[in-house]
Structure 1
Amino acid sequence: MGKFFDYLKTKTFRKNLIIAAVSIIAFLLFIFYSLGFYTHHGEGMPVPKLKGLSIGRAIELLEAEGLRYQINDSVYLIDKEPGIVVEQDPDPNTNVKANRTIYLIITRDAPNIKFPDIAGKTYLEVRSILNNYQLKVGDTSYVSDVARDVVISSAFGGNIILKGQQIPKGSRVDLVLGDGLGASEVDIPNLLGLNLNEARLSLLGSSLRLGEVSFEGSVIDSAGAKIIRQFPAISDTLNKVSIGTQIDVVLSN
């Protein structure tokens, strides 16, 4: 044992120890620089920004840079159309080597839900219900009905939609509402060909008033003259008026 400790104190041991340490350090440096050279350490290309692009455009950019891609997942976002990149890994501007795989998350089609029961509810109630179901209010129109701002019918894609039918989340639902005037509107009577007295009786029966009376041409016997025009007249877009509306007439022999 004493000889061993005496050997440790010799110049030969110290020389061998130094040689061994230098050899180990040189070997480690060789390995480090060799790996760096082999893997092109510090070299690469920045990953392009893909978020917000369509998946088709994103693939074009990646292939142009010699990069691969893989769609890792898809999510539904109400405010984005399907096929839009929303996440990428690695992040934009990260240096990577050629042929590196870039992982993407894209948006997908909206899932279907059952349409809620909104018939007979007010516009404010329906707007809240549709919002809770992640649906949107589309166009609104009014029809003659005693109930004001109450949903008479609803449509999606131009077709009537009823409670329980499947509809994609985020869809726009068109609403037909009551105007609250149903009880106060009456059909416009056809006064053409009637004399003045007959017109008065017809208007009285419809709760309407006779308005301005005018004559066309030379009228000798006003009692025998017939109505040739009336205002408002019945048309494809107008067939009802409010109770008490006055109807103007033009008479002629």
Structure 2
Amino acid sequence: MRKFWAYLKTRQFRANLLLAIGTVVVILMIAFFSLSFYTRHGTGIPVPQLKGMQVEKAMSMLKEQGFDYKIDSVYVLDQPPGSVVEQDPDPGTNVKENRTIYLTVVTRQAPPVSMPDLEPYTYREAVATLANYGLKVGDTTYKSDIARDRILEMRFGGQEIKAGTKIPKGSRIDLVLGNGEGASEVEIPDLVNQDLDAAKFVIKQGGLTVGTITYQGTITDSTSLVVVAQSPIRTDSLSKASNGTRINLTVSQGKKSDVPNQ
């Protein structure tokens, strides 16, 4: 052990130690400058401004400047299809040649959304609901109904549309509203033995409102339901009801019978 400590005090040890330190420093400097040269640290090509540009033009510009690119798509309401809305890296960033530039482009095909049920709503409520679903209000028309500004029908492409129907996001929905000037009383229709969809149509066209629907028995096919009871029901003593009266229906599984009700 004494020899070891004595060796640490010799000039030879100090020379070897300095030589080792110098060698490590030289190696680190060579590695640093070699890496900087290899990566061309501090040099590069500025990324062009691509936001707002059509994707075809953006791809052509990137290709001319020696960049690679990858494209993702997103649907943005009121933005022109095919336009670039995001890019990474940001414009003006210095990057190496052949760097991949990531673009987010507005898709040309709108995703489908489910049509919301607007019939219980007023016009103002319907406008807010459509906006939440990414839809727009189209034309508004009025027809005779005691409920003023209440949604009576929803139309898309000139055809009445039901809640839950899939339509492209951003579509315009035409609304039929009540004008508040409907007759005070309307005829109560006889709906027993009618298909449910047909009964609903008759109720709405007659200035009445579809009330509670009660399902009787086991239901295996929701598209084949028949009205077996209604309230109020048309009788000799009661043939009319106030405009907007709710007609409650009881339905069961089956098809409309050709035998008239007794």
Residue 41 (str. 1) matches residue 24 (str. 2): no
Bigger Cα Rg: 1
1:14 to 1:95, Cα distance in 2 relative to 1, 3 A: same
Partner SS, residue 50 of structure 2: coil
Change (3 A) 1:135 1:23: same
Q: Equivalents in 1 of 2:157, 2:63: separation in Å?
A: 38
CA distance in 1: counterparts of 2:40 and 2:133, whole angstroms: 53
| 1:1-253 to 2 correspondences below 5 Å | 1-71=1-71, 73-108=72-107, 109-119=109-119, 121-143=121-143, 148-180=148-180
Superposition deviation, residue 69 in structure 1: 0.8
Q: Distance in 2 between matches of 1:38 and 1:130?
A: 57
- Which letter maps to 1:46? P
Give TM-score scaled by structure 1 length. Answer: 0.60
Q: Distance in 2 between matches of 1:175 and 1:181?
A: 17
Amino acid in structure 1 at the alignment position of 2:10: T
Q: How big is the shift at 1:152?
A: 4.6
- Distance in 2 between the 1:29 and 1:131 partners? 62
What displacement does 1:112 show? Answer: 1.2
Inter-partner Cα distance in structure 1 for 2:38 and 2:122? 72
Q: Separation in 2 of the partners of 1:22 and 1:132?
A: 69
Deviations 1:154-178 (A, max 9, x none): 3334444333322122222122334
Structure 1 residues 150 and 29 mapped into 2: Cα distance closer, same or farther (>3 Å)? same
Unaligned regions of 5+ residues in structure 2, if any? 184-262
CA distance in 1, matches of 2:87, 2:75: 16
Pairwise CA RMSD: 2.9
Q: Deviations over 1:57-88 (max 9, x none)?
A: 321222122111112x4333334344333333
Q: Which amino acid aligns with 1:74?
A: S
Post-superposition Cα deviations, 1:127-155, rounded to whole Å, max 9, x if no partner, equal: 23323323211222345666543445433
Number of residue pairs aligned between Structure 1 and Structure 2: 183
Match of 1:193 in 2: none
Percent identity (aligned): 54
Gaps of 5+ in 1: 184-253
Distance 1:115 1:140 in 2: 17
SS at match of 2:70: strand
Cα distance in 2 for partners of 1:180, 1:43 equals 73
Any idea what SS the aligned residue of 2:170 has? coil
Regions of 4+ moved over 6 Å: none
In the superposition, relative to structure 1, how do residues 157 and 53 fare at CA in structure 2: closer, same or farther (>3 Å)? farther
**DSSP-derived class of the 2:149 partner:** strand
Deviation at residue 120 of structure 1 after TM alignment: 7.2
What secondary structure sits across from 1:149 in the alignment? coil
